[in-house]
Amino acid sequence: KSESAQQCDVCTAYYLTAENLSAHRKLHLNAYRCTECGLVSCVKRVMSAHDCAKRAERYSCADCDLMFRVLPQNKNGTSKEPVTIPCKGCDKVFHSKKSYRAHVVIHDNQSYPCPTCGKLFQWKRNLARHARNHRERAAGTTHACHACGKTFASRDCYNNHMRLSKKHVHENSETSQEPRLGDAHEQVAGEELQVPFLPSGLQLAHVRVQASQADASQESQASTRGERQRTVPGANCHAIKYKTDNSVLLFHIYLQKLKLKRHNKVNQKYDTIVIGLGSAGATAASTLAKAGKRVLALEAQDRVGGRVHTVQFGDGVVELGAEWLHGTHPSIVYEDVQRNNISLVPQEFYLMTYKSDGTRGNDVLINELEGLCFDDTINLAGPNMPAGFNITQKIQAHIKENYPELENDREFMDEVMPFLNLVVNNHESSNDWNDVSSRSRYTELDGPQYLSWHKQGYHSFFDILLNKYNNGPGWPTLDVKLNTEVTLIKWPKDSTGDVEVKCVDGSEYKADNVIVTVSVGVLKDRKTLRFQPELPPEKIKAINVIPIGVMNKIILKFEKLDLPRGVFYGFLWKSEDRARVSVEDRWTTQIFGVSTPTGTSNTITLWTSGTIGLLVESMPSDVVMKKSMELIRKFMAKVADIPEPTGILMSKWFSNPFTRGSYSYDNTVVADYPDARATLEAPLRDSAGALKVLFAGEATHPIYFSTVHGASETGLKTAERLLSNITL
Residues 683 and 644 in one domain: no
Closest to 336 measured CA to CA, from 458, 475, 442 = 458
Distance (Å, rounded) from C-alpha 286 to C-alpha 480?
Answer: 11
Give strand ranges (E) for 50-201: 59-60, 67-68, 85-86, 93-94, 112-113, 120-121, 143-144, 151-152
CATH number at residue 603: 3.90.660.10
Q: How much is the pLDDT for 164?
A: 60
Same domain, yes or no: 565 and 640: yes
Distance (Å, rounded) from C-alpha 242 to C-alpha 118? 58
- Judge if 437 and 559 occupy the same domain: yes
Among candidate residues 594, 617, 650, the one where a domain is terminated: 650
* Other CB atoms within 10 Å distance of the CB of residue 262: 13
Asked if residue 563 and residue 543 are part of one domain, the reply reads no
- In total, how many domains does the chain have? 4
* Domain with 121 in it: 112-161
The answer to whether residue 685 is domain-embedded is: yes
Residues 461 and 531 in one domain: yes
Residue 512 lies in a domain: yes
Same domain, 297 and 382: no
My answer on whether 512 and 537 are in the same domain is yes
Residue 364 in domain:
yes
d(CA 712, CA 337): 13
pLDDT of residue 547: 94
For residue 701, tell me if it sits in a domain: yes
532 strand-pairing partners: 490
Residues 645 and 555 in one domain: yes
Element (H, E) at 632: helix 621-636
Is the dihedral angle over the CA atoms 590, 595, 597, 600 positive or is it negative?
positive
Tell me, what's the pLDDT at 353?
95
Indicate whether 220 belongs to any domain.
no
In terms of domains, do 476 and 441 share one? no
pLDDT of residue 352: 94
Tell me the CATH number at 471: 3.50.50.60
In a domain, 215, yes or no: no
Whether 440 and 518 map to the same domain: the answer is no
Going from the C-alpha of 268 to that of each of 499, 511, 529, the distances in angstroms are 11, 8, 20
Please report whether residue 709 resides in a domain: yes
3-state secondary structure of 667: strand
- Give, in order, the Cα–Cα distances in Å from 309 to each of 247, 313, 478: 41, 12, 22
The length of the chain, given as a count of residues:
728
Residue 40 shares a structural domain with residue 128? no
CA dist., res. 40 & res. 50, Å (int):
11
| 10-residue averages of pLDDT along the chain (728 residues) | 63 72 67 63 63 53 53 52 73 78 70 77 78 78 75 77 55 36 33 36 33 41 41 37 44 54 61 97 97 96 96 95 94 93 90 94 94 68 80 92 92 94 94 90 92 94 95 94 95 93 93 97 86 94 94 96 92 94 94 94 95 93 95 90 94 94 92 90 94 97 96 96 71
CA angle, residues 128, 131, 135, in degrees to nearest 5: 135
Burial of 87 (0-12, 13-18, 19+ CB in 10 A): middle
Q: At which of 144, 161, 178 does a domain end? A: 161
Bridge partner list, 481: 298
673 and 532 within one domain = yes
Residue 703 included in any domain: yes
Last residue of a domain, one of 625, 650, 675: 650
